[in-house]
Every structure is written in structure tokens, then in C-alpha cells.
């Protein structure tokens, strides 16, 4: 998510002439960056792609380690072709994370982070770019978010053969929206919600106490249907999605585990705190295994 600076006239317009949820979503949420990677067909293959990273991807490893990144396209139920990336971090890993990234980044920018994170917590990582992000087709919208993650989920299940009980859904910021939606419909090994939001209106207008019919991203209303264990992570000084969102989401989780409230952390620096990795390691290696 990005800053929510709306003028008085725009606020009046929202409430006097409320738009459909897709209009709110488009206005408040999506900032696809200039793509930091490209795909090209592998020689002799029509369904496997080769990844090319630009300098803006800021790849932090050697060319040899790029061999751990498998990329391909899949198609959503809404007809968009989206880019997928499977990062093979740990050969003997039990769990694979289905990661839905935050706003204003794409798979190229996230690739180094995925390799580092997965190696440290002994998980493989599968991710995808939302419609209109990276080399994914279509345009970003709330409906496309839900279709995008479901297409990624089916690719994990069919192309890679990963069982639901071995999948951890991990959403960050705007990525918590499709993560909660999928988790409310499928039981998985676990769910991680990093800087989650209750709904679009509650981010834009913090005094909002209910879900309006024209609201977007109503994750708070879907949480009671999430039957998997849920770890909520939030910085106490988050300047984009207030800490109160993480608390409210946590309180609505039927199977919440001990959350991670990172004192002093904002929206984009939670990963820099030591307790972030330690909490994830404990969650994956101890709590889920037991």
C-alpha cells in the first residue's frame, strides 16, 4: 500500500457518490513499478521460460545461483497470463511458501530476498506477479488479485505437485488481501500475514468502524473463515497501514499463534529486525512441525 492522501472533495465524493470497490482499489492500492526482469522462451521449450534480470532488480548473488530460480507463465480464470517464480532454496524443505508481495515491487526486485529468506528458514518459495505487474498481462484490480493467487495456487498444486498441507501462504501489505481470500477458501499448512489491512476504507479513513458495500479488500470479514494457523506480523510504528489493523486481524483469527509486534518498525523495515527471522524460524521449524 502507499500513502492515502485524499482531498476533502474526494472524501465527499466517496461517501456521497460511492464508487464500486474496483474503483477504490485502483485509486488506493496499485503502483506497479517499471519491470525489472523479462522472460524469454527456453530453447526447445514452449512452457518454460528463462529469466533475465535488469540492474534495477539488484540481484545480490552470483549467476550460478540464478539456476535456483525457475520461471514460467500461467493463466488466470479471468484470462490474464501471469508470471510465476519458483525459488528452490532448500532441497529437503518440507514447506513451500506461496508469497504475495507488497506494492511497488515485482518478482525481479524480490528474487534476492526470496533466496535469502528461504535459505534461512528452510523453505522453498513460490511467488507470482499480479496482473499488470512485471511481465504479467492485464491490469491490476481487486478481482484480478483473487484470480492471480488462485492461478498461482493451482500451478503449485498441479505443475509442482505440492500438497496443501505443505504450503504456507505469506502475504505482505497489499499481498495480504489475496492471501486472506485464498486462506478463507482452502485449508493450508499455515498463513503468515505481514502488515495486513482490515479493508481499503479503513486504511483511507481510520475512523471507519464497519465494512461499507462499496469497500475494497474486506479482509477483516474473511478472517473468521480462515481455518489454518495464522502468524500476524506488524510494526508498531507503521506509517502506511496502522498497527491497529494488525491487532484487529489477529483478534479475528480462529487459530492465531503468538503474533510478532516489532517495536519501532515501520511499514518497510520489519525484515531488518532480528526478531523477524527468529520468529519465522520458530514458527516453521517448531510450531508447525509439532
**The pLDDT of residue 5:** 46
**The pLDDT of residue 244:** 96
**The pLDDT of residue 200:** 82
> Which residues touch 8 (CB under 8 Å, ≥6 apart)?
none
Which residues, listed in sequence order, are joined to residue 235 by a DSSP beta bridge?
Answer: 262
Question: What is the mean pLDDT for each group of 10 consecutive residues in the chain (290 residues)?
Answer: 46 47 58 96 79 97 96 98 97 96 97 98 98 97 96 98 98 97 98 95 80 84 97 97 97 98 97 98 94
Is 267 annotated in the active site?
A: yes
Helix axes 142-158, 176-183, angle to 10 degrees: 60
> Which residues touch 279 (CB under 8 Å, ≥6 apart)?
231, 233, 260
pTM score, two decimals?
0.89
**The pLDDT of residue 22:** 53
**The pLDDT of residue 23:** 52
| All cell numbers assigned to 125 | 518459495
**The pLDDT of residue 47:** 73
| Catalytically annotated residue among 106, 129, 181, 238 | 238
The pLDDT > 70 percentage for the chain reads 89
**The pLDDT of residue 10:** 47
| Catalytically annotated residue among 173, 199, 219, 228 | 173
**The pLDDT of residue 12:** 46
**The pLDDT of residue 26:** 53
Is 129 annotated in the active site?
A: no
Is 194 annotated in the active site?
A: no
| Catalytically annotated residue among 99, 101, 245, 267 | 267
Amino acid at each position: 500500500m502507499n500513502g492515502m492522501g485524499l482531498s476533502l472533495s474526494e472524501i465527499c465524493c466517496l461517501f456521497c457518490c460511492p464508487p464500486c470497490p474496483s474503483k477504490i482499489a485502483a485509486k488506493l492500492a496499485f503502483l506497479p513499478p517499471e519491470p525489472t526482469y523479462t522472460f524469454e522462451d527456453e530453447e526447445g521449450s514452449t512452457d518454460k521460460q528463462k529469466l533475465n534480470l535488469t540492474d534495477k532488480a539488484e540481484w545480490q548473488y552470483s549467476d550460478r545461483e540464478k539456476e535456483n530460480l525457475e520461471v514460467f507463465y500461467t493463466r488466470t480464470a479471468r484470462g490474464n497470463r501471469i508470471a510465476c517464480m519458483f525459488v528452490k532454496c532448500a532441497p529437503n524443505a518440507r514447506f513451500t511458501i506461496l508469497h504475495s508481495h507488497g506494492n511497488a515491487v515485482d518478482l525481479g526486485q524480490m528474487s534476492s530476498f526470496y533466496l535469502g529468506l528461504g535459505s534461512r528458514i528452510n523453505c522453498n518459495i513460490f511467488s507470482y506477479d499480479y496482473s499488470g505487474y512485471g511481465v504479467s498481462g492485464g491490469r491490476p484490480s481487486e478481482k484480478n488479485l483473487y484470480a492471480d493467487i488462485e492461478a498461482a495456487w493451482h500451478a503449485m498444486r498441479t505443475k509442482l505437485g505440492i500438497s496443501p498441507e505443505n504450503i504456507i501462504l505469506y502475504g505482505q501489505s497489499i499481498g495480504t488481501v489475496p492471501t486472506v481470500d485464498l486462506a478463507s477458501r482452502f485449508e493450508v499448512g499455515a498463513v503468515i500475514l505481514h502488515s495486513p489491512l482490515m479493508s481499503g476504507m479503513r486504511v483511507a479513513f481510520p475512523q471507519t468502524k464497519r465494512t461499507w458495500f462499496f469497500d475494497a479488500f474486506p479482509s477483516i470479514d474473511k478472517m473468521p473463515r480462515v481455518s489454518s494457523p495464522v502468524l500476524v506480523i506488524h510494526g508498531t510504528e507503521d506509517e502506511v497501514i496502522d498497527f491497529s489493523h494488525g491487532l484487529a486481524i489477529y483478534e479475528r483469527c480462529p487459530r492465531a499463534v503468538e503474533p510478532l509486534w516489532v517495536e519501532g518498525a515501520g511499514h518497510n523495515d520489519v525484515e531488518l529486525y532480528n526478531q523477524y527471522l527468529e520468529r519465522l524460524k520458530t514458527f516453521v521449524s517448531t510450531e508447525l512441525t509439532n
